[in-house]
Structure 1
Amino acid sequence: MLASYFFYGYWDWSFCLLLLFNAVVSYIGGLLLERSESESQRRWTLGIVVAIDLLLLGYFKYTGFFFESLQELFYSLGLERELPILEIILPVGISFFTFQSISYIVDVKNRQIQACRSFVDLALYISFFPQLVAGPIVRAAHFIPQLDRRPVLTRRMMAKGLFLILIGLFKKMVLANYLATLYVDEIFLAPEFASSLELVLAIYGYAGQIYCDFSGYSDIAIGVAALLGYHFKRNFNQPYRAVSLREFWQRWHISLSQWLRDYLYIPLGGSRHGTILTYRNLFITMFLGGIWHGAAMTFVIWGVIHGLALILERVSGFGRWTGNGRLNRLVGILVTFHVVCLAWIFFRSPSLSLALDYLAAIGKGTSEITLLTPFVAGLILLCAVGQFVPSRSYERCQVALSRTGLAGMTFFFTLGLLFIQWVSPSGTAPFIYFQF
């Protein structure tokens, strides 16, 4: 726990107090829920703890957006009114550790787990440094029981950790960084000067970049946890081979998808109360998922696109149709991928106007290719091929690495680190999901 707080405080020690306050509230709330016999009192306790978590998240994440929107409203009404400019620093990872604390307190209330008696264990669960700043979102029922037994670093766990760290570093430092610096950032900076082909390929490039960036972090986090003797579930599973949007969300950021399903979609009613309410619940879930990513219209539209696409899939039966036959699956993969890419334009663009400009530029782009190179095209192709390798390739590589013994694992890990350092560009951009 102290190591995790040191890790988080190395960026800004004052936010360790926020992390500690979150743990204290969750710890006290969990004990109160377990000791309470009255269902009414349990609901009130749950509501207060969740409200505190969401108020803190809302203050840090959405206050600035609220004041900016209010000022724009005043201007549109002809009221020249200057509102105070608040410089609020967003604590890294606040969304992730807030979601973990909410999942803990809800599970205690629903009697799916017992309240944690050890404050240190609960504080470690909320602050565990490998996944603290960008996930994956870990459930208390999965992690806290692992703290009750002595962690054992087996050869298989060591091989798993070393392999995932290497593959995560390669995804981030090589694939994601080259795609961003050599191509994607330049195209999105001035889309009006790019050709239509370059604009479309830049969307494909960003799809590869954000996948390699985020899944790379998840791989590193899961790998570091494995080296400490703890098991985390997989957070990405080749999402761009999905034949439907529903399957995409079963493969992309799995821990968030399952959190939204279990703590938002199902409590809203899920698919238990008829077709119309099911569509409503789907839309609300994806809409709020968009707002979770950021207080901007671009993220709202990103969520709306996914919400409407999921509804259209159910209405049309598209997901059932693409599950039968190779040709149908191919059509499903292509359609799903391009819907996801359409949404990525809004997710990547710094403003709504720039996103609309990007879409307009695709239709009237020039034919001259200036930034696209064979190297960039090769990176995009490599990202695409990686989505269709055998699904258990990671596990097979980990088994093969474990068979080399301690000396072999040390050799291959060191060789991999040196290779990544050699081929990666100088400097490393922050992980994209640090901002959430």
Structure 2
Amino acid sequence: MESLHRIFSFTSMSAEDLAFNRLDFWIFFLAFMVLFSVLHKNKLVRSMFIAAASLFLYFKTSGFFVTLLALSVVVNFFLGKWIFKVDNKLGRKWIIAFSAIFNLFFLFFFKYAHFFTDSFNKMFHTKYEVFNTFAQWGNGFFGAGTFEEMILMPAGISFFTFQSISYVVDIYRKEIAPVKNIWDYAFYVTYFPHVLMGPIVRARDFIPQIYQKFQLSQKEFSEAVFMIMKGLFKKIVLADFIATHFIDSVVDNPEGFPGYVSVIAMWGYSLQIYGDFSGYTDIAIGISKLMGFELLPNFNSPYKANSVADFWRRWHKSLGSWLKDYLYIPLGGNKKGTIGTFVAIIIIFVFLIFITGWYELIFVYVGLMSLYGIAILISPKVKTFMYRDLNLLITMILGGLWHGASQNFVIWGAMNGLALVIYNHWKKVSPYEKSSWWIVHFWKILFTFNFITFTRIWFRLKTEGAPNKMLDRIFNHFDFEWEKFTVILSTYAPALLIMLLGFFIHWIPQKWKDFMVSSFVKTHMVVQMLIIAVFIVILYQAASDSFHPFVYLEF
């Protein structure tokens, strides 16, 4: 009873307490499905119920930040209606501009206020401080202590902001029509399986499902259950176990280990973050399927990628698709540059120089522009490549900044953007680009995986200067000795074996994985229940004493 009161009372809990890998969430979901089974036949009632339940869950995890989510729903719903009715081209542009400013303002205020203020202070040697104006207004109206005056980031703000922008932009582009009522829109934006950590759901993919009749076959039910089990396995076994029993010990104290152990730990981190985020996505897809709704896959075996470009087509596909359609293409994409392209690239380079202190980047910038200038004089066609390269760099750097307010995320994005630029030129002259030789294919996968893992040093180690400590251990204190290596193997044997298992499962052919799914679906319900029971026992044994929240909860 105490547990039920904690979950269903109007008192806040942390987002970690109601994450997919916590029992409290599954108690909530079970109660939700009981009511959903009664109310789902009427589409409007279904939308109202799901929206209300989603807002309640958001309130439980984020407190009064639910008012921000509700405000976003109301404003963007009416902006969508408004822009659909306006025929004047200039008027429509003003509405879309207001929509972008409104949505991005809250994202920048809550997520980046401290980051940009600190960067400004460092750049101009000032001492400005950030204060929460909205909390002060709210406390003055509702009473002192109602709102936290420290600027805290609302859970899921990056995801529901991008969804809101894409909804209005898609109506502006006449790709979709507005939803019929505000409850349908609230359902789309606040839908609890994805509102906190994604995937980013596009209106054109999801909204048509709101008006469809609920259907759930035995096959779909079994597939949903398998997806949930797969996601929990990835999170609890592949991600949390190796993080608790190996990765965290090394990454948080690289000076205490030989450099090669940091390399192994970062390989493990690549598996951890994949298991963590794709595991969340699998669970979200599974529980959504139980309600009769389809969420698009967000990952496609990313470590099978044979190039950086291939990797970003496979990893976090919903974000990549969003950045492509709403940032890269509007900047000009592959074909042209805009004023925004050149303004953005200058601002980004200046910003990178001052937040990193790497003043040598000035020479990199001047050198790149000079090379492009000379190439354009030789062949005007180079302009197209220049625009594509600049637009790619801008998109990836801003994609890095989307992940977090840290110079390390910006560096991580810039490194991946530069890699994409280099690859786009290299593939035109590489004699191995279209090779079918298995050794070439193996090498390309290995090189891509290691490059992605290397850049994640800046992704995992968020504090300033921390990546340099690990790099120093790797390059200056590699110190491989067989005797010490055997000690490392024996000390961390369980975690290392789980790592090997995780990579084996990831790299096996897709048809093997499809066979496992189809085999589970075809088995009798009693056998499925036995499999689930055994699976739960295994998860319980593998579960760590220390709780690991989902990585993307902080984004």
**Distance apart, 1:69 and its partner CA:** 2.6
Q: What does 1:206-285 correspond to in 2, within 5 Å?
A: 206-273=269-336, 274-285=384-395
Which amino acid letter does the alignment assign opposite residue 198 of structure 1?
V
Distance 1:416 1:320, change over 3 A: farther
Distance 1:52 1:222, change over 3 A: same
| Aligned partner (choices 320, 328, 332) of residue 440 of structure 2 | 328
Distance 1:85 1:147, change over 3 A: closer
**Distance apart, 1:408 and its partner CA:** 3.4
- Residue 193 of structure 1 corresponds to 256
Which amino acid letter does the alignment assign opposite residue 215 of structure 1?
S
**Distance apart, 1:393 and its partner CA:** 4.2
Distance 1:320 1:247, change over 3 A: farther
Q: What percentage of residue pairs aligned between the two structures are identical?
A: 35
1:343 aligns with 2:455: yes
**Distance apart, 1:263 and its partner CA:** 1.1
SS of aligned partner of 2:178: coil
- Residue 430 of structure 1 corresponds to 549
- Residue 64 of structure 1 corresponds to 114
Provide, for residues 351-386 of structure 1, a one-character-per-residue CA deviation record: whole Å limited to 9, x for no partner: 231101111111222444465522222122222212
Q: Is the 8 A contact 2:332 2:391 kept in 1?
A: yes
Which amino acid letter does the alignment assign opposite residue 55 of structure 2?
Y
Provide, for residues 268-321 of structure 1, a one-character-per-residue CA deviation record: whole Å limited to 9, x for no partner: 111123111001111111010001011111000100110000011011117883
Q: Is the 8 A contact 1:163 1:413 kept in 2?
A: no
SS of aligned partner of 1:362: helix
Whole-angstrom distance in 2 between the partners of 1:355 and 1:181: 20
TM-score (norm 1): 0.95
User: Computing the radius of gyration over CA atoms, which structure comes out larger, 1 or 2?
Assistant: 2
- Residue 83 of structure 1 corresponds to 129
- Residue 422 of structure 2 corresponds to 312
Which amino acid letter does the alignment assign opposite residue 25 of structure 1?
V
- Residue 405 of structure 2 corresponds to 295
Q: What does 1:89-238 correspond to in 2, within 5 Å?
A: 89-238=152-301
Q: What does 1:39-54 correspond to in 2, within 5 Å?
A: 39-54=89-104
Which amino acid letter does the alignment assign opposite residue 53 of structure 2?
A
Distance 1:56 1:148, change over 3 A: same
- Residue 375 of structure 1 corresponds to 494
- Of the structure 1 ranges 383-392 and 202-211, higher mean CA displacement relative to structure 2 is found in 383-392
Which amino acid letter does the alignment assign opposite residue 540 of structure 2?
Q
Provide, for residues 26-61 of structure 1, a one-character-per-residue CA deviation record: whole Å limited to 9, x for no partner: 111110111001011111111101111100100110
Q: Is the 8 A contact 1:243 1:322 kept in 2?
A: no
1:396 aligns with 2:515: yes
**Distance apart, 1:183 and its partner CA:** 1.4
1:418 aligns with 2:530: no
TM-score (norm 2): 0.75
Distance 1:328 1:179, change over 3 A: same
Q: Is the 8 A contact 1:159 1:399 kept in 2?
A: no
Whole-angstrom distance in 1 between the partners of 2:88 and 2:70: 29
SS of aligned partner of 1:170: helix
**Distance apart, 1:396 and its partner CA:** 3.1
Whole-angstrom distance in 2 between the partners of 1:306 and 1:320: 23
Task: Give the unaligned 5+ runs of structure 1.
Answer: none
Q: Is the 8 A contact 2:107 2:161 kept in 1?
A: yes
Q: Count the aligned residue pairs.
A: 432
Whole-angstrom distance in 1 between the partners of 2:159 and 2:64: 18
Task: Give the unaligned 5+ runs of structure 2.
Answer: 1-50, 133-149, 337-383
Q: Is the 8 A contact 1:180 1:209 kept in 2?
A: yes
Which amino acid letter does the alignment assign opposite residue 381 of structure 1?
L
Whole-angstrom distance in 2 between the partners of 1:71 and 1:277: 32
Q: Is the 8 A contact 2:131 2:151 kept in 1?
A: no
Whole-angstrom distance in 2 between the partners of 1:229 and 1:393: 27
Q: Is the 8 A contact 2:113 2:130 kept in 1?
A: no
**Distance apart, 1:149 and its partner CA:** 1.3
Which amino acid letter does the alignment assign opposite residue 310 of structure 1?
L
**Distance apart, 1:427 and its partner CA:** 3.9
Q: Is the 8 A contact 1:244 1:322 kept in 2?
A: no
Which amino acid letter does the alignment assign opposite residue 228 of structure 1?
M
**Distance apart, 1:103 and its partner CA:** 1.1
Greater relative CO, 1 or 2 (CA 8 Å, sep 6+): 1
Which amino acid letter does the alignment assign opposite residue 433 of structure 1?
Y
Whole-angstrom distance in 2 between the partners of 1:314 and 1:161: 39
